[in-house]
């Protein structure tokens, strides 16, 4: 119980909060004014230096005011250029998780143009183009990729995998997962890469559910039993529930799991096909026999009712045998005319 509480405390260590940000347009105006003022200071500083040197009649003469304006302008332009690093543009259904000197600073979720602390950095280890580099001391860092976390509904096409069903038969199953991020802090900080984590947990959930049910039913089975082939919707719903429990710690919401491929593994596919064909042939023959018996019974009843001919037990047995052969045979019957008595 104590270990579970510690795990829950670690998982919920970070609570999503809104990062402190300012209007990007207002800060853009301020920075442009700073750069303009800085450029003006540089220009007036150079003019002051030239004027002072001309008045003093020496090129080595330096005006203190000119130096102040020149270096002040350079500093202001440099500061304005550095402040441009704080601009961020967010599109709809995007979020930006910010850290400040290694600590969680906040999350921006509303679309718009923002300016934040220039020392804040975005982090998104689950970006499709993010690479992981290992440092000499074993530390990991993420390079490349987009720093914005997508909040859109996304699709994971899980590759086909071979699993064993309830009877131990190897089957090949493939799934598609419809998912989205609902808690950016859990997705970014609780797992190393939420896309890889989701794919791994999807494999585990698929194996866990698939081994609980048979691929298909046989004649001796309970016809109300769920199967992977006949109850695909129910099985997919169970996969959705199981996968949601597994990835909740990563701040992900599983909207739907769909089974896209289901078949026997190649090593037993031929044997299972033969069994299915045999069952189909037996079922078809059973239906034919039931129909033939009914037709023979109807023929005998009709002959007796119309009193067309009087048949004793032996003649009835011969007639039944001939009719069954004709009705149940897979080839056309060849008639034989008997002009004599059967006795």
Task: Single out the residue in 237, 264, 291 at which a domain terminates.
Answer: 264
Both 324 and 229 in one domain: the answer is no
Which residue's entry shows tokens 């969680």? Answer: 104
Q: SS3 for 172? A: strand
- pLDDT tens-digit map of 239-259: 999 999 999 999 999 999 998
- pLDDT tens-digit map of 57-116: 666 666 788 888 889 889 999 999 999 989 999 999 999 999 999 889 999 999 999 999
Confidence of residue 197 (pLDDT cuts 50, 70, 90): very high
Confidence of residue 138 (pLDDT cuts 50, 70, 90): very low
Q: Which of 116, 125, 242 lies closest to 181 in space, CA to CA? A: 125
Residue 3 counted as domain residue:
no
- Answer for the pair 21, 114: CB distance below 8 angstroms, yes or no: yes
Query: Can you name the residues that pair with 98 across neighbouring β-strands?
Result: 106, 122
- Answer for the pair 149, 181: CB distance below 8 angstroms, yes or no: yes
Residue 164 counted as domain residue:
yes
- Answer for the pair 8, 97: CB distance below 8 angstroms, yes or no: no
- Whether 175 shows a pLDDT value over 60: the answer reads yes
Which residue's entry shows tokens 């299915």? Answer: 276
Both 216 and 242 in one domain: the answer is yes
Strands 131-134 and 120-122 turn out to be: unpaired
Among 111-120, 190-199, 274-283, where is mean pLDDT lowest?
A: 274-283
- Whether 306 shows a pLDDT value over 70: the answer reads no
Q: From CA 218, how far away is CA 207, in angstroms rounded?
A: 22
Q: SS3 for 150? A: strand
- Answer for the pair 102, 11: CB distance below 8 angstroms, yes or no: no
Both 108 and 167 in one domain: the answer is no
Q: Which of 197, 194, 175 lies closest to 185 in space, CA to CA? A: 194
Both 50 and 113 in one domain: the answer is yes
Both 201 and 258 in one domain: the answer is yes
* pTM of the shown model: 0.68
Q: From CA 259, how far away is CA 24, in angstroms rounded?
A: 46
Confidence of residue 183 (pLDDT cuts 50, 70, 90): very high
- Beginning with the edge strand found earlier in the chain, give each strand of the sheet holding 22-23 in spatial order: 22-23, 112-115, 87-90
What average pLDDT does the chain have? 79
Residue 11 counted as domain residue:
no
- Whether 9 shows a pLDDT value over 60: the answer reads no
Residue 204 counted as domain residue:
yes
Here the CATH number for the domain that contains residue 228 is 3.30.479.30
Both 59 and 162 in one domain: the answer is no
Strands 94-100 and 103-108 turn out to be: antiparallel
Residue 143 counted as domain residue:
no
- Answer for the pair 204, 177: CB distance below 8 angstroms, yes or no: no
Most confident region among 61-75, 244-258, 279-293, 322-336 by mean pLDDT: 244-258
Strands 112-115 and 103-108 turn out to be: unpaired
- Angstrom CA distances, 190 to 115, 118, 131, 140, 195, stand at 27, 25, 18, 15, 12
What is the extent of the structural domain holding 228?
151-264
Both 284 and 257 in one domain: the answer is no
Share of the chain above pLDDT 70, in %: 70
Both 310 and 244 in one domain: the answer is no
- Answer for the pair 327, 292: CB distance below 8 angstroms, yes or no: yes
In the 8-state DSSP scheme, what is residue 19?
Answer: P
Residue 289 counted as domain residue:
yes
Both 324 and 247 in one domain: the answer is no
Residue 343 counted as domain residue:
no
> What's the distance, Cα to Cα, between the start and end of the chain in Å?
91
Query: Can you name the residues that pair with 256 across neighbouring β-strands?
Result: 178
Q: Count structural domains, the chain.
A: 3
Both 285 and 231 in one domain: the answer is no
Task: Single out the residue in 103, 121, 139 at which a domain terminates.
Answer: 121
Residue 169 counted as domain residue:
yes
Both 187 and 260 in one domain: the answer is yes
- Whether 300 shows a pLDDT value over 80: the answer reads no
Task: Single out the residue in 76, 104, 121 at which a domain terminates.
Answer: 121
Both 103 and 208 in one domain: the answer is no
Strands 170-181 and 252-264 turn out to be: antiparallel
Q: SS3 for 29? A: helix
């Amino acid at each position: 119980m104590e270990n579970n509480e510690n795990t829950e405390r670690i998982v919920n260590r970070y609570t999503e909060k809104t990062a402190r940000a300012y209007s990007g347009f207002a800060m853009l105006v301020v920075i442009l004014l700073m750069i303009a003022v800085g450029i003006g200071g540089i220009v007036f500083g150079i003019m002051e230096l030239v004027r002072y040197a001309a008045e003093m009649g020496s090129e080595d003469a330096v005006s203190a005011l000119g130096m102040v304006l020149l270096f002040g302008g350079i500093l202001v332009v440099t500061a304005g250029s550095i402040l441009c690093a704080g601009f961020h543009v967010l599109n709809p259904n995007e979020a930006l998780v910010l850290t400040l000197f290694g600590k969680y600073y906040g999350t921006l979720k509303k679309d718009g143009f923002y300016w934040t602390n220039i020392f804040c950095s975005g982090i998104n280890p689950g970006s499709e183009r993010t690479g992981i580099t290992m440092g000499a001391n074993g530390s990991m860092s993420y390079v490349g990729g987009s720093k914005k976390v997508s909040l859109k509904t996304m699709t994971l096409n899980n590759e086909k995998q071979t699993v064993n069903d309830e009877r131990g038969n190897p089957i090949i199953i493939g799934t598609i997962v419809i998912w989205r991020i609902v808690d950016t802090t859990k997705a970014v900080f609780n797992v190393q890469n939420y896309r890889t984590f989701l794919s791994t947990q999807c494999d585990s959930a698929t194996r866990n559910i698939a081994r609980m049910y048979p691929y298909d039913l046989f004649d001796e089975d309970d016809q109300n039993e769920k199967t992977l082939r006949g109850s695909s919707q129910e099985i997919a719903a169970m996969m959705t529930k199981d996968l949601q429990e597994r990835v909740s710690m990563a701040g992900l919401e599983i909207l739907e799991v769909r089974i896209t491929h289901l078949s026997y593994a190649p090593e037993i596919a031929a044997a299972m096909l033969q069994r299915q064909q045999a069952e189909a042939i037996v079922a078809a023959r059973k239906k034919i026999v039931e129909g033939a018996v009914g037709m023979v019974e109807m023929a005998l009843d009709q002959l007796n009712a119309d009193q067309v001919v009087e048949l004793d037990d032996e003649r009835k047995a011969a007639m039944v045998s001939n009719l069954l052969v004709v009705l149940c045979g897979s080839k056309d019957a060849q008639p034989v005319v008997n002009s004599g008595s059967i006795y």
